[in-house]
């Protein structure tokens, strides 16, 4: 069984006013070639297919076209919902995709068997079981607590998610028993695992008081395909438990990171063979920092090829001494002779220890609400326990004001 693992496509993303349509189309075309070249049996996309719950029509179109084109490769497709995806919107395509050798699991199912997909190899024989677990919403796994007597303790979300994983894993084992085989069991997930390295583009997931899931709570998967974190990495020192990372850079701090998909070969009774397939950089994004003179020198060093026709997108982080009302105009004059386009000009950040004064002259585009909130907690000397509680409430409030799923996650009583 050969499979590819990818995640966090974020189709439809708007990057500082720029569409990523061409990049995403180039990636999907490249992905189809890899599936053909490596004779892939199954493709797993571990969440965040779209960037918002109401993606533009072109984003839905290129996903639909990809699913159709994939049929020529006789490759199964497993699509999982992420925290950016709308459950209702994804489910609109579920039945159609099921007729195209594709399994779309938008949210947690009440029947564990509906989240176990038996993967077939090129010979048509069962080769692995996939525990297809999307982004887990608290209401989906804590509903069993609704009839219990009220208490001062909140339901244990960590245990609820852990139990959900165990239930799906047990269902996969039962399917193996029914087949009379010991097929490899693949796990999936769209969440933050404790100690995972994040980037600026990752939105923290706050579900109850749980911010990260311990790797020790996962069942003993033969391979674990994770999504949500945009930086490719292994988990718990296990080479067969991985975040694939996003296929394109989602923020300027990812500009120097190589993007990849994960190639996995599974053979019953053997350890998974895992390697990464580097993805070409379809759109250069560059972050330059320093005063205006230093930035000009960096431009000359990086973009001195006069024959280059590919336009790079720039983030200019300018020292405070040069950050004035005319800085945008001066930066544009410096850049006009190079194949670049400025998307962001901002003041160079000071150390967090410098206090709230570092934000005084920044524009709203340069900071986000969480930075302001965290600094205010420090200024007010809020203790650790209260900080955790208030941060959770603040994050949940921001999610409700700026929803990413395109629909309200509140029931009528909560509204």
CATH number of the domain residue 65 falls in: 3.60.21.10
What is the structure's pLDDT at 411? Answer: 44
Residue 396: the pLDDT is 67
How would you classify the pairing of strands 285-290 and 312-318? parallel
Using the 3D structure, point to which of 278, 296, 331 is the last residue of a domain.
Answer: 278
Phi and psi angles of residue 368, each rounded to the nearest 5 degrees, phi first = -125, 160
Is 31 a member of any domain?
yes
User: What angle separates helix 292-302 from helix 327-335, to the nearest 10 degrees?
Assistant: 20
Alpha helices (runs of H) in 115-210, residue ranges in sequence order: 138-141, 157-179
Inter-residue long-range contacts of 393-402, CB under 8 Å, 24+ positions, other chains counted:
394/369, 394/370, 395/204, 395/206, 395/370, 396/206, 398/369, 398/370, 399/206
Whether residues 264 and 292 fall in one domain? no
| Angle value at C-alpha 98, between 117 and 82, nearest 5 degrees | 65
Looking at the structure of the chain, the number of domains it has is 3
Give the end of a domain, one of 221, 247, 278. Answer: 278
Round to whole Å and give the CA distance between 237 and 235.
Answer: 5
Instruction: Specify whether 81 is located in the same domain as 122.
Output: yes
Reported as type and span, the H/E element at residue 35 is: helix 21-37
- 122, 92 Cβ separation under 8 angstroms: no
390 within a domain of the structure (yes/no): yes
**Is residue 189 in some structural domain?**
yes
Question: Could you tell me if residue 353 is inside a domain?
Answer: no
- Residues 273, 311, single domain; the answer is no
Q: Are residues 304 and 393 in the same domain?
A: no
Global pTM reads: 0.80
Q: Tell me, what's the pLDDT at 367?
A: 54
Q: What's the pLDDT score for residue 393? A: 75
> Is 310 found in the same domain as 274?
no
Distance, CA of 13 to CA of 169 (rounded, Å): 34
Show pLDDT as tens, one digit a residue, over the chain (415 residues).
999 999 999 999 999 999 999 999 999 999 999 999 999 999 999 999 999 999 999 999 999 999 999 999 999 999 999 999 999 999 999 999 999 999 999 999 999 999 999 999 988 999 999 999 999 988 888 864 444 443 333 448 888 999 999 999 999 999 999 999 999 999 999 999 987 776 665 555 544 446 788 999 999 999 999 999 999 999 989 999 999 999 999 999 888 889 999 999 998 888 899 999 999 999 999 999 999 999 999 999 988 876 677 899 999 999 887 788 888 899 999 999 899 999 999 888 665 444 444 444 444 444 567 667 777 766 665 656 566 667 777 776 766 665 444 444 444 434 4
Quote the CA–CA distance of 105 and 98 in Å, as a whole number: 11
- What is the predicted pLDDT for the residue at 309? 75
Last residue of some domain: 303, 323, 348?
348
Residues 311, 413 within the same domain: no
Same domain, 263 and 194: yes
Are residues 180 and 326 both part of a single domain?
A: no
Same domain for 16 and 90: yes
User: Which tokens sit at 349?
Assistant: 């950040």
- Do 135 and 244 sit in the same domain of this protein? yes
* Domain co-membership, 133 together with 265: yes
Domain of residue 334, CATH code: 3.30.160.720
pLDDT of residue 410: 43
Say if residue 65 is in the same domain as residue 86: yes
- Domain of residue 292 covers 284-348
* Residues 47 and 80 sit within 8 Å (Cβ to Cβ): yes
- 234 three-class SS: strand
């Amino acid at each position: 069984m050969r499979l590819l693992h990818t995640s966090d496509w974020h189709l439809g993303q708007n990057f500082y006013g720029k569409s990523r349509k061409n990049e995403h189309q180039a990636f999907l075309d490249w992905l189809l070639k890899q599936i053909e070249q490596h004779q892939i049996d199954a493709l797993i996309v571990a969440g965040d297919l779209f960037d918002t719950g109401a993606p533009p029509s072109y984003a839905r179109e290129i996903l639909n076209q990809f699913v159709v084109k994939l049929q020529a490769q006789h490759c199964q497709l497993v699509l999982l919902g992420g925290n950016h995806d709308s459950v209702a919107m994804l489910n609109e395509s579920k039945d159609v995709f099921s007729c195209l050798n594709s399994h779309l699991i938008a949210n947690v199912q009440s029947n564990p068997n509906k989240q176990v997909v038996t993967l077939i190899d090129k010979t048509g024989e069962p080769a692995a079981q996939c525990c297809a677990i999307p982004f887990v919403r608290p209401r989906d796994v804590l509903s069993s607590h609704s009839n219990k007597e009220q208490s001062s303790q909140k339901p244990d979300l960590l245990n609820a998610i852990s139990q959900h994983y165990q239930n799906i894993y047990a269902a996969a084992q039962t399917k193996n028993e029914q087949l009379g085989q010991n097929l490899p069991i693949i796990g999936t997930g769209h969440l933050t695992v404790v100690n995972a390295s994040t980037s600026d583009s990752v939105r923290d997931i706050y579900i109850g008081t749980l911010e990260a899931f311990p790797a020790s709570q996962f069942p003993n998967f033969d391979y674990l395909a994770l999504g949500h974190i945009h930086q490719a990495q292994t988990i718990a020192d296990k080479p067969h438990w991985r975040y694939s990372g996003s296929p394109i850079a989602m923020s300027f701090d990812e500009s120097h990171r190589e993007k990849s998909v994960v190639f996995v070969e599974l053979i019953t009774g053997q350890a998974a063979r895992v390697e990464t397939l580097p993805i070409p950089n379809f759109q250069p994004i560059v972050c330059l920092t320093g005063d205006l003179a230093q930035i000009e020198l960096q431009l000359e060093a990086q973009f001195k090829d006069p024959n280059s026709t590919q336009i790079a997108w720039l983030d200019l982080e300018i020292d405070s001494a040069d950050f004035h009302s005319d800085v945008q105009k001066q930066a544009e004059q410096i850049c006009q002779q190079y194949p670049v386009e400025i998307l962001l000009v901002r003041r160079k950040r000071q150390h967090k220890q410098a206090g709230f004064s570092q934000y005084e002259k920044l524009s709203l585009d340069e900071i986000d609400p969480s930075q302001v909130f965290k600094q205010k907690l420090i200024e007010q000397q809020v203790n650790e326990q209260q900080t955790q509680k208030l941060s959770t409430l603040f994050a949940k409030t921001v999610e409700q004001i700026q929803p990413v799923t395109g629909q309200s996650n509140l029931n009528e009583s909560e509204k």
